[in-house]
Amino acid sequence: MHVRIKSVRPMKDYKLMLTFINDEQKIFDMNPYLDTGIFSELKDTAVFQSVHVTFDTIEWSNGADLCPEILYSESVSA
């Protein structure tokens, strides 16, 4: 299955509500990533809130992005 993101909504506690193209909704926890490289910039809530859909995945204003397959496999059903 080719995984694609339809929409993303930032939530409190550095979590993301993801809607995939099959309309499945899942919650992805960014906390494990926040001490790694470019993702540490997401601790700034303004940067974290800048998340948006780009092509088939998500991206932040600082250029950070994640593979849609990782987003799908490491998230939990909403």
The structural domains of the chain, ordered by start, are 5-77 (3.30.2020.10)
d(CA 28, CA 48): 13
Of the candidates 17, 2, 1, the residue with the CA atom closest to the CA atom of residue 56 = 2
Please tell me the predicted confidence (pLDDT) of residue 2. Answer: 83
Q: Is the pTM of this model over 0.85?
A: yes
Contact 28, 72 (CB under 8 A): no
pLDDT tens for each residue of the chain, 78 residues long: 689 999 999 999 999 999 999 999 999 999 999 999 999 999 999 999 999 999 999 999 999 999 999 999 999 999
d(CA 24, CA 3): 11
Please tell me the predicted confidence (pLDDT) of residue 77. Answer: 97
Please tell me the predicted confidence (pLDDT) of residue 6. Answer: 97
Please tell me the predicted confidence (pLDDT) of residue 1. Answer: 64
Task: Give backbone dihedrals phi and psi of 9, rounded to 5 degrees, phi first.
Answer: -135, 120
Please tell me the predicted confidence (pLDDT) of residue 11. Answer: 98
